[in-house]
Amino acid sequence: MSAEESRNDHKTLDKNASVDLDQLYDDSEIEAVFEELDRELIGLVPVKTRIREIAALLLVDRVRRQFELTAGAPTLHMCFTGNPGTGKTTVAERMAKILHKLDYVREGHLVSVTRDDLVGQYIGHTAPKTKDVIKRAMGGVLFIDEAYYLYRPENERDYGQESIEILLQVMENNRDDLVVILAGYKDRMDRFFESNPGFRSRIAHHIDFPDYSTTELASISELMLAEQNYRFSPEAAAAFEEYVERRMQQPHFANARSIRNALDRMRLRQAKRLFEARGSITREDLMRIEVEDVRASRVFSEPLGSGEVPS
């Protein structure tokens, strides 16, 4: 059964009937998805608000169909813009779950790809690659990261345009069974849409993911450490906030992704410190990141704004 058939497979209601939206919301179980999103991602209030608005639209559309108040299937293709590490892929995964629970896609899975998964390197290679990806994504969500790389006008022998044309056709003709989410830096996505107006006309929801604040990144670090049974000592926590402030001014900063990488390096330094100290250690010793594990980073020795990528 297609998603369109599933949406239409609800009992038609008499025009004088009423529907309990609270009960319908509870039955959909989408609140559990929002709770999951809140646990996984700190902050991002505007993004989470927009996702809830889209869910409300779909829930109301579901009721409208029961009253035969049809307005055509909602256009659900989206564009997520923002810097790396701001949660775009995670939100796309939760969006797929919401669409599935509300019967707008059959399976609710996410297929995440980049240009290399879609575009071939020689004539006749691109179409099969793109169609294979689309086939895998049908019934769910296709997430195309750094989507602007599909279009490379400076290379006259580039095959990205062929992939774009196939995607546009599928986005129009199969929108009842596939949702496409394009993602990337905002300025580059804006230029991409200017060069490919067909994409802009098919995207109904543009959602911008803001950078995290220093406080949010500190909270994210504590959450990441707790998931791996680590924690900062009070002195290390204070040092890490200073680390974050300095790291944000260094090149190639990628929000939560950079924080995760930094914590991995601090765990390495903690392990080295414990190993070199020898002797007996406690469970608390194994869990605690100390201030020296933080301050050993080059972030504290490099001038702010230097070209070095810190460790």
SS3 30: helix
Instruction: Flag whether pLDDT at 213 surpasses 70.
Output: yes
pLDDT digits (tens, 9 = 90+) for 125-158: 999 999 999 999 999 999 999 999 998 877 767 8
Measured distance CA(7)–CA(26) in Å, rounded: 18
What value does the mean pLDDT take over residues 171-175?
A: 91
Percent of the chain with pLDDT over 90: 72
pLDDT digits (tens, 9 = 90+) for 101-113: 998 999 999 999 9
CA angle at residue 221 from 208 to 242, to 5 degrees?
Answer: 95
Tell me which fold the domain 3-209 belongs to.
Answer: Rossmann fold (3.40.50)
214-300 maps to CATH 1.20.1560.10: no
SS3 144: strand
pLDDT digits (tens, 9 = 90+) for 4-56: 555 555 667 666 678 888 888 899 999 999 999 999 899 999 999 999 999 99
pLDDT at 301: 87
Instruction: Flag whether pLDDT at 311 surpasses 70.
Output: no
The token pair at 236 is 């290390």
- Predicted confidence band of residue 2 (pLDDT cuts 50, 70, 90): low
pLDDT at 187: 96
pLDDT at 117: 97
Residues of the chain with CATH 1.10.8.60: 214-300
SS3 206: strand
- Predicted confidence band of residue 203 (pLDDT cuts 50, 70, 90): very high
Instruction: Flag whether pLDDT at 67 surpasses 70.
Output: yes
pLDDT digits (tens, 9 = 90+) for 70-91: 767 788 999 999 999 999 999 9
Closest CA relative to residue 214, chosen from 239, 191, 187, 245? 245
The residue whose two tokens read 């196939």 is 166
pLDDT at 75: 87
CA angle at residue 145 from 310 to 252, to 5 degrees?
Answer: 15
Top pLDDT among 307 and 186 is at 186
CA angle at residue 225 from 224 to 229, to 5 degrees?
Answer: 125
Burial of 219 (0-12, 13-18, 19+ CB in 10 A): middle
- Predicted confidence band of residue 205 (pLDDT cuts 50, 70, 90): very high
Residues of the chain with CATH 3.40.50.300: 3-209
Q: Give one word for 105, left, alpha or beta, with left for phi > 0 and alpha for psi -120 to 50.
A: beta
Question: H/E element holding 9?
Answer: none
pLDDT at 279: 87
pLDDT digits (tens, 9 = 90+) for 248-279: 999 899 999 999 999 999 999 999 999 999 88
